[in-house]
Amino acid sequence: MNNKATLLMMLILLGWLAACGGETNPGLQSTPTAPNAPRPTVTNAPLTEGGQPYPPPQPTAAPQLGYELPTPKPTVNPYPAGLVWLIKPIGEQCQEPAPEADLSSAIAELEEDGVTVEASGITAVTVCASCGCPTSNHYRALVSEEFPPQAEAVGWV
């Protein structure tokens, strides 16, 4: 037999002896107790410095069924002199835009209805993505807040 086989046999023999033989540890022997003797109570609660367990947690008050909303701050028009932005979609999804549709003609349409436009431009707005929804690009016009009823009549909001 070679040295590896001998070493393996010795390890197997030592493992078998350790698992099956030997004497039990005398410190772990149990002492018989009377059948009706009181058993010591075992708690898993942490102990204070004096060896006493901490008191159990006290129940908390039930949450109230509602709360008051904070009072909203008054809204302030961020534009001077009562100006507001109006927008109008450039077109409708799944349809070709009108060839004459451009910003200048949209503003001219507003001015024909007596609305004074202070500034204008094109902006992108989040919209639904299906046929019949407006396109994300919208015309915008800065007008006096007293004019929106005339502008709403021609599709501006």
Q: How confident is the model at residue 63 (pLDDT cuts 50, 70, 90)?
A: low
- The pLDDT, as a whole number, for residue 118 is 86
| Whole-prediction pTM | 0.47
- The pLDDT, as a whole number, for residue 47 is 72
At residue 125, does pLDDT exceed 70? yes
Q: Is residue 148 part of a domain?
A: yes
Question: Could you give the number of structural domains in the chain?
Answer: 1
The CATH number of whichever domain residue 109 belongs to comes to: 3.30.70
Residue 126 tokens read as 């989040």
Q: How confident is the model at residue 129 (pLDDT cuts 50, 70, 90)?
A: confident
At residue 70, does pLDDT exceed 60? yes
Q: Is residue 1 part of a domain?
A: no
Q: Is residue 66 part of a domain?
A: no
At residue 130, does pLDDT exceed 80? yes
Q: Is residue 98 part of a domain?
A: yes
- Tens-digit pLDDT profile for residues 7-59: 888 888 888 777 766 555 555 555 555 667 666 565 566 677 777 777 777 88
Reduce the secondary structure of the chain to three states and give it as a string. CCHHHHHHHHHHHHHHHHHHCCCCCHHHCCCCCCCCCCCCCCCCCCECCCCCECCCCCCCCCCCCCCCCCCCCCCCCCCHHHEEEEEEECCECCCCCCCCCCHHHHHHHHHHCCCCEEEEEEEECCCCCCCCCECCEEEEEEEECCCHHHHHCCCCC
Q: What domain range includes position 137? A: 80-152
Q: Is residue 137 part of a domain?
A: yes
- Tens-digit pLDDT profile for residues 89-115: 888 888 876 665 788 888 888 888 888
Residue 102 tokens read as 């451009």
Q: Is residue 52 part of a domain?
A: no
- The pLDDT, as a whole number, for residue 23 is 56
